[in-house]
Structure 1
Amino acid sequence: MRRNSDLIRAILLAIEKDDRCEVLRIPDIGGYPDEAVHFHARLLVEKGFLKTYFPDRTGRQPWVCIRLTWEGYDFLDAIRDPVVWRSVKRVASKAGSWSIETLAAIAKAMVVAKVEALGLAA
């Protein structure tokens, strides 16, 4: 299965939105099969963006996300704005490939450019 940056963003947004924020089932993400959502959520765990535990390793009980990590929030904050997100994806596609680090770097550069354009740079 290929990584999908839009699904990664959707998972982070859905988890942040949930009011329970300490114990979360992996949310249903419209338009994506459960297998893809779980696969991408596991990638986010491996990257350190989600902190999880697995209550039942037999597979009978769904795994549970405890929370977004600091790194997960930082990445989400960088790509939260839909306009920035579209621009980030456009720039990354011109480069021919992407990684989480690349997407975050592009988004942060765009935010810095916005701050400088507003005359708010220190």
Structure 2
Amino acid sequence: MRRGIAFGFLCLLGFDVMGQLSFKGAALAALPMSPDTAWILRVLAEPVLYLAFLGYLGAFVTWMSLLKHAPIGPAFAASHLEVVAVMPLAALLFHEAIGWPQIVGAAAILAGILCLALEDSESESGI
């Protein structure tokens, strides 16, 4: 059961990262933004936009499936791993800057997930 939940979280992470990076790619490809039909058609013509929709749909279905089997506290915290995973990939793909606030935020997310995972494992073992 634990392996299935871990695999589910890896799938969730993959779908979330795919959705976020694809959406950013589509937004950048559609620049400059303008409130007209030509811009809307340009956005809709971006193939990476549909990859973003697929990522969001996959993440939704995976999340709903995980909620049936995973404890909600650690599951909710682990769902925020996408923020940590997207950050270095966005730096590589889109040349976004990573500063101390982002590093501290990522460390806080990881620490929170670790604390919840440890709490969950202690409650299962009866400690």
- TM-score, structure 1 length as denominator? 0.30
Relative to total residues, which structure has the larger helix share, 1 or 2? Answer: 2
Higher alpha-carbon Rg: 2
Q: Which has the higher strand share?
A: 1
